Structure formats: structure tokens, C-alpha cells
A and B are shown apart, each in its own frame.
Chain A
């Protein structure tokens, strides 16, 4: 298998630049980084085809080793057009972020920060519940129930207990 160092070095530079850009806060730069990464990957696939060769247009007299490998080419063609679609989509996102929030920057997720500060106490798990000694009468009102009145069962009165034997 022949390995073309020119292609690989160019690919390496594109990867390095692309990675540098996607580690940026500006959405535009991130998108440019993605495009560089796509280009780098196309080069990587291209380099698997070996030496430069004839364009793969079939000719009966030509041995198939003389063509440049058509399979990586087909893969790259797909990749180019998909990159176009993804780029357009990202552009839509960039425009929308700008239209909504007037910014072109990736914001930190505040919800994640909030989760990280969550105390481990959870009323559902940890609140103290008094022992209930009947399914038919709710005796005491617990702190949890006072906090969340909507979760409290309506106390059943003596009359509502008649159902079973009636």
C-alpha cells in the first residue's frame, strides 16, 4: 500500500486548524472548524486510494490498477454534498441565534450548573413520613404535604368509607 505523505501532512494541518477552531466560543469559528475537519477527512479518504492515477472513466485497454481508486471517490462525493447540507443547517442556526439573542457565541448551559449544585436531599426520598395505620383515613399532615398541597390526598371522611359494605 502506497502512502502519500503530502496529502497526509496537509490533512494533519487541516485537522489541527479545524480542532483549534471548534474549541472556540464563536459559533462562526466553530462552523469554519467543522468545514476544515470535513476537508481534512476528505483528504484522508482520498489518500487511501494510493497513487494519483487516471480518472476512473472505463476504458477496455486500461488495467484497473491504473485508475485512481473509484471507491474512495464515491465516498468523498457523498461527503462533500452532506457537508454542504450540514454547513447550510449550521448557518441557519447561527442566524437564528443572532436574531434571537444577538450573539454569535456558545453559551454555557446554566441548567447543568444548577444540577451540579443540587443538594442530595430530595423530599420524595428523604422527607420523614409518619407511619400510616390505615388506608382509609389520612391522619396527620406531613411537612411534605404542607409543602406540596396538590399532592395531598383529600382526607376521606367516615361517610366515604361506607362504599365497601354498601
Chain B
């Protein structure tokens, strides 16, 4: 079975390619797939019917009890006959229905074939969840197939409607399936059915009852029963072959299939019969009634299908052997005649361009063959002997006569029977109406132009109608196929005879009912004008479609309302809501819990009383940052808290943290100044008044909540910290004395690797935000840059104080000077500082050496890749500040992107090389050797990882400097040049004089 499925889906995947080659004839190739599967199925008859069926199980996810479990028994076999047989014929029909130039034909063919596969999977699955997957697959494919004509609004809309209704039911069903699976302790359908008796009557009866109702909801939506019947007529916007296959023979039968599958075990369940019989009968009558009102022959069939689906649900769901036999017999008969009728409708529409019975006239005269094929199918639908429909309906009447008149029959049994007869009368009447509407020559209507039909086009419906006759005349094989299924309903002690499908049962009450049906149905047809008048008097008070529209409309309104209330587009609003929840919920939890405060709370750490002073500094800095109304003052105040925290780290016994925090704080300060130099100095506070009070309240409440949460959380700790082992691990396993560093590069190397990846991403983000068009990794040398050209101030009024200062600076720096820095000369004279250049010259190399020392010594002493990298970054910062952007390029001749990549690659290599050497990822080794000058050297391989970290951090710092520093400089100069040019036009002499003086 899994082979059949695999072949079908693979064929569906490559189908578009076949269409590209063969055009519409590719449908013939596709049709071969289900046809071959059909032959395979027929060959399986012997194994399926000799024992309990054939079974294929492949484990998938044992922990979730998921498995590919397939099982072919009598029910699955009969369903598969219909699915594969009709599927193949419909595909053959498509080859003449569509045109080569129809758009999206390849996708359509693939979907139709895949649908056949999904249906086959649905009926052969022996696992509830597998079955559900196929179930939803049919829903999705049905959506795509109904919406084939994408340009038509009606098609898109009904496709979506069908999808919404059936998935809504599918979700309910999923819940039901899971409840059932959990109650039974197995998701295997055969296992569940075996223990159905205990499930329904035992302690789980309430749960199972609910599960069964939920599953029935799925079946009801899928099979278009009242109150969800409206989607099926809507789905008639699909191309007619799709309607023939999905909405007559296959998909809508999925609901019936579920009912049939569960009926042998769960028909006893308390809500089963009311749902199945009540909704089934209502659907049968509503569908029949509405079919009589339609003027579109396709809609007559659609409502007829709705009616028949209700009928089938009642029969199949009754849970008695004779009804089961009759139900499956009817299901096959319905598949044959309804598919044929839809295909006939497709031909009429195709050849004449209309399906409206008020326009069609004389079609029978135009194509007698088509008329005969249709007449056979319609007669079978009406239940006329000697056709399949008659045989099946006879058995149904028989079963319900028994049910209604048996000694244990419920009082309403007879009413069900009466309802069935009324439904059958309606069926007869709309069958006649269909034939009359489609084929009759109507007085007063012009004869419809009708093109001749090619035999290949008519083949599929003709074959189906032929089978209808064969089935009617010789029902014994069908009977034998269904008997094993009917036998499932037999109780152990009394062998109930299911009866047989037969053309002639004798003069039974059922035959009498059939006669009544014919007479009354014929009468309704002849009095069709009277019927129409009566129907037009009855208002359309129940209209499922309108109810659906109102529901969706209300949903839309609610969605717009809720979106309008929650998505305000204001960050302030969102943050207020989020933060309020963030403090209110933990606070409420704390207050409700009413736990005593932990005992070990102290205000001043006896080991480190100085913390109090650092704390006061931090608090003052934070409050000043809040109050500051100058941009740089606020930044400085935040830096104060940062340095204060570095002090706090030092006092707490964390030298690594203190070092890193100091370095970061410094670089951040520089970055701030560089990035914000163009922004106004004032920091305006726009949110005032009431909003400010709310901010204060939220801030204070959040802070206080965090304090208490921290106290309680830490008080709740009982186990000793895991890190008590770290020092020993670090020394013995990691070969280092600095526990923090070993933790970073060895014990928790994965974390650190993730972190440096984030650094690389953030650095690239910064560069992209500033450079915009590229990452700006081009290296530029200073050689070609003219002297004193960088950062030259232009457009300063010579007579102003600023101008005088500028002139002075230019005069003083107008001296040839030793090159302390490589690119110092490129900087405009007024921007140079001899002291700064000299100091930079003196300390840069020392800082780089120190940073490498920090990196290498970090394994045993405070330091490490982060601190080292930041120190190197700081050294570069100094070079940039002293010598400008060309100095930075000269200092770092490798691009930041290369550094980030190299760093990540180095770190990654230290992760996977051990793997190649037979170790684990990030496993480190200690190598000891002797070097001439250094003496005994102990090298730990995790240092290589730390080198990667170092390089990434340098890359990050370089990116920040290049972007926020160098590139923004360039933006400034471009802007200055532009502004200068416009000024030149206004006051040319003054400007040239000013710049002339500066250039020696």
C-alpha cells in the first residue's frame, strides 16, 4: 500500500514536467497511475478476503506512538475501488475537457492525482493520526482544485469557504481523535475498534462519547451535512471533473467513511444515533428540497449530492448489519451514477456554453448517446430497476423497515422510515427535473447550439453508466465484497443475517415503498409548476451560506476591533502593556503566595563593605542620567554607572569582569561621541505630564518587583551551586587557573561560540547601517591623499571668533613636522595635536603587545580573548582619534569583515578539529614542551578558541570605528563640500582667501 502511495505522489510531483511535453494528453499518462493501482487492488482481492486483511506497519516516531500503519480490509478495499477507479476515469475525461492552452494545467493534474493518493491513504490508514494527515491533505488539495480558475472571484471565494468549513471540522476531529487515542492507549484504529465495547461502556464512556461527537463534527463538515451543507454547492465553482471526483465520488465520502469505520464499535455511543440519524435525515430533506429549486443543472446535482450524503450517513451510521450492507452498496451505486452525471454536465457545459435549464433545449436531439448515458445514471439515482440505485435503495428500505418494526425498535424508528421515503420521493422528482432540464426540448426556447461529442470525451461517463447497469443486473459480486464488513456488526451469540443485495427480493414492504416513491415522485415532477409556486411562497429563512457569511463578517469585525485596540502603532503603548504585565504578574504571585522572607539577607557584605560606596555612585549616576537634558551629559552619566559597576565587580571578586567592563565602557563612550556628533546637544523630553507619572510608576514598580523576585528566587535555592566543581574542573580538565576564562573557552565553549557569532552579526549590522550599499570592506591607503585634506573645516566666517581661532590654528600647524603617525599629515592642520600624536606613537604598540599578553595569559590570570580584543580595539581607537580615518586604515590593514570571518573560522576549527582527531567537539588538550627562551611551556588547545574570540572582538571594534567614525567623517565632508560650493557662489573672495592661507 505504501508503494502505491509513494508511486502516486512521485508521479504527482513530476506531473508538471509531463504536461510540459505532452500538453493535455498528459492526463492519459496520469490516469495510468490510478489505473495500475486499480489492477493491483483487484489482484489483492484474494488476500484481503481470505483473512482479516493485509497490514503494513513501519515505525516512525515510537515515542509519540506515530507509525506508518496501513491496513486493507473489506471496507478499505471497497472504498479504494471507487477512489482509484473513478479517479482514473476522471483523469481520462480531463484530457478532453481541458484545452492545451489552459493555464496551470500541470499543477492541476498534479493536484488531482495527489488527491487520489491522499484519498487512498485516508481509507487505508490504520493509525488515527496518519488518517488525519491524509484527511487534511484532501482538504488542502480540494482548496487548490476548487480555486483552479484563480481569476474568478467566485472560485476563490468558494475554495476558501470550503477550506474554512472543512478545516474547522478537521480541528474538532483532531481533538476527538486524540481523546480517543489517549483513552484507548493506542492510535491503531484496528486495536481501538477491538476494544470499542469497553471504551464505550467502561469508565471512559463520557470521554469517549465526547470524542465520538467531535469526530462526527469532522465527518459532518467534510460530508456537507446540515448545518454545514452550504459549502458543497459553493464548491461547484470548481471545474466539473473536480466536482465529479471530489464532490461526488471521493472527498465528500470521507465523512461517510469515518462513520462507516467507527460504526462497528461506536454506534453504541450515547450521542451517535441522534447525531447520525438527525443530521442525516435533515440533510436528506433539505438537499432534496433545494435541488428542486435550482435552475443550474450542476447545482441540481450538488444539492442532490448533499441529499444523498445525508441519506448515506443515516444508513451507514445505523450500526446494524443489514444497514451496513445496504449503506456500502448505496455508496458504490452513488459513486457510479453521480460521477457519471457530473461528467455529463461537464460535457453539456463544454459543448453548449451553459448549464442553465432556462436556456438549454433540445440537447437530447443533438446527442442521443449523451442522453442515454445520462438517463441511465439519473434513473439509477431515482432508484429505477434494474439499476444499481434500485438494488441499493431496496436494501436500505428493507433495513429500515426491520429497524422500525422490530421488537426492540424505538418509537421514532417509523418516523425515520417515513422521512426516508419522503427524501426518496424528492430524489425521484429532482432526478426527473435534471433530465428534463438538461435534455428536453422546451417549447418557447430556442434550440441550444451543441457541438458533436468526440467518443473519447464520452468514454468515462459511458463506462460508469455501463457499470451501473452491470451492478444492477448482477449485484452478487458487490454483495460478496461487502459481507465481511457487515459481519463486523454481528454480536457474538446471535448471528444476524445481513441479507443480500439483490434485484428481486419478492413482494416485500420495501418494494411497496419504492412504488409509492415512484408514483409520488412522478406526480411532483408533473406538478413542477405548482411545486415551484409553493416553494417560492416559503421564505428562505434557513440559509447556511448566509449564516456562514454573517459569521465570517462578525469575525472580521471582531478582528478589526481587536487589532485597532491592541495594535496602536505606538511603542510606548506596547511597552507599557508588556512591562505592566511583567511586574504585575510576579508581584501578584508573590503576594498571593504569602511566603516569609528568606533569613540570610544582609545589607552590607562583611567581606566587602566598600560596595556601599560604589552603589551610591551608581545610583547617583543613574538618577542623573534620567534627569539630564543634554545628550552627552546623559551619556556620561550612564558611563558613570558603568564604571561604578566595574568597581562593584572588582569588589565582589571578579577581576575579569572589572577589566572587561572598564574597556567596554571606554569604547562605548567613544562610539557614542562619534555617532552622535551630528545630533543636537539638547535632549528634549516630549512625553510629559500624565505620561511621565505613569512612566515613574511603572519604572519604580518594576524595580521594586525585581528586588523582591530576586530575594525570593535566591531564597528558594536549596542545592549547592553546580559551579563548586568548576575550579577543579578548570584546573584538571581545562588546564588553566583562571576559572572564568576556562569556563568561557572550554566548559561552556558552545555558549561563547554563539556569542561571538552574535558579535559578528551585530558588527555587520553596524557596518550595513552606516555604509548602506556595501559592507565597506575596501582598504584605502593614505599615499594618494593630499596633505591636510581630511576634516578641513569650510564655510567658517573669517571674521567671526571661530574663524579667527581657525586661522590661528592653521598658522601654527603650518610647519613641516616629523611623521609621528603614518597618515597624520592627511589630517587638516586645525585638527592635529602634536601631543596626542606623540603619545599615540609611544603607546600604540605597547597596547597591542599588552593585548596579546592578556589573550595568552588569560588562561591563568585575569584577561582572555575578550579583554585582549577590547584592548587592541582601544589601541585602534586611539590611532583613529589621533590620525583620522586614513590612520585607521593604515593601522588595520585587514578589513573588519575578514577579521570577523577569520575569528569565527578559528573558533570553529578549535571546535571540530578534535572531532577529526577522535575526540569530542571543543575538547581541549594540554601540550607541554620546551622552548629555548621561554623554558617549559604549557599550551592548552582551548587557547586557539580564545584567539578566535580575540580576532572577532577586534573585528567588532574595527567595524564600530570604521562605521561610526571614518564613514560618518566622510558623510560630513561630502556635506561640507556641498554646502561650501553653494557658499562659494555667494561670497567667493572670502572663502578662497581662507582656504588659500591654510594650504602651504
A residues apposed to B, CB below 8 Å: 1-26, 28-29, 32, 35-36, 39-40, 42-44, 46-49, 51-59, 62, 64-65, 67-74, 76-78, 80-89, 91-96, 98-99, 104-106, 108-113, 115-120, 122, 124-127, 129, 131-137, 142, 144-145, 151-153, 158, 160-165
Contacts and interface: CB of A to CB of B under 8 A. Distances in A.
A96 B770 contact: yes
B618 A56 contact: no
A23 B769 contact: no
B724 interface: yes
B794 interface: no
Contacts of A98: 678-679
Interface in B612-670: 612, 615, 618-619, 622-623, 625-626, 631, 634-635, 638, 641-642, 645, 648-649, 651-657, 660-661, 664, 667-668
Contact of B717 (A1, A10, A77, A125): A1
Nearest to B674: A91
Given A86-B762, A88-B766, A125-B157, A77 B553 contact: no
A164 B676 contact: no
B714 A1 contact: yes
B740 interface: yes
A94 B714 contact: no
Contact of B567 (A52, A116, A124): A116
A55 B655 contact: yes
Nearest to A54: B653
Interface stretch (B12-20, B489-497, B748-756, B926-934): B748-756
B652 A68 contact: yes
B157 A124 contact: yes
Contacts of A113: 568-569
B563 A77 contact: no
Interface residues of B, number: 160
Given A1-B714, A13-B623, A13-B703, A125 B964 contact: no
B695 A20 contact: yes
A91 B672 contact: yes
Nearest to A22: B575
In order of increasing CB-CB distance, the 6 nearest A-B pairs are A112-B569, A116-B564, A16-B703, A163-B99, A109-B569, A68-B653
A127 B156 CA distance: 12
A134 B349 contact: yes
14 contacts: A3-B598, A3-B715, A7-B611, A11-B703, A52-B651, A56-B653, A57-B862, A65-B724, A77-B660, A88-B960, A116-B563, A124-B156, A124-B157, A164-B99
Nearest to A110: B569
B515 interface: no
B755 A133 contact: no
B556 interface: yes
B754 to A, nearest CB: 9
A89 B763 CA distance: 7
B731 A58 contact: yes
Interface of A is mostly: helix
Contacts of B738: 56-58
B655 A64 contact: no
Nearest to B718: A1
Interface in B171-203: none
A15 B609 CA distance: 23
Given A78-B751, A120-B557, A126-B553, A69 B721 contact: yes
Contact of B724 (A24, A25, A64, A110): A64
B579 interface: yes
B167 interface: no
B710 A11 contact: yes
A6 B611 contact: yes
Contacts of A69: 721, 723
B706 A44 contact: yes
Contacts of A117: 564
B648 A92 contact: no
A9 B706 CA distance: 9
A17 B734 CA distance: 41
A54 B625 CA distance: 33
B454 interface: yes
Contacts of A25: 572, 686-687
Interface in B583-628: 598, 600-608, 611-612, 615, 618-619, 622-623, 625-626
B101 A39 contact: no
Contacts of A70: 723, 726-727, 730, 739-740, 743
B703 A134 contact: no
A45 to B, nearest CB: 10
Given A8-B707, A9-B615, A95-B675, A88 B695 contact: no
A132 B556 CA distance: 27
Given A9-B615, A137-B353, A153 B706 contact: no
B349 A57 contact: no
Contact of B622 (A17, A85, A118, A162): A17
Contact of A13 (B152, B239, B619): B619
Nearest to B600: A2
Contacts of B671: 87-88, 91
A97 B717 CA distance: 46
B474 interface: no
A89 B354 contact: no
B956 A57 contact: no
B656 A77 contact: yes
A16 B631 CA distance: 20
A93 B766 CA distance: 8
B685 A4 contact: no
B652 A49 contact: yes
B553 A92 contact: no
Given A36-B622, A81-B953, A47 B354 contact: no
Nearest to B604: A6
B894 interface: no
Interface in B273-307: 295-296
Contacts of A3: 598, 600-602, 710-711, 714-715
A42 B665 CA distance: 14
A89 to B, nearest CB: 5
B32 interface: no
B740 A73 contact: yes
B97 interface: yes
Contacts of B480: none
A165 B652 contact: no
B153 A165 contact: no
Interface in B684-721: 684-687, 694-696, 698-700, 702-704, 706-707, 710-711, 714-715, 717, 721
Given A19-B699, A29-B683, A164-B97, A92 B765 contact: yes
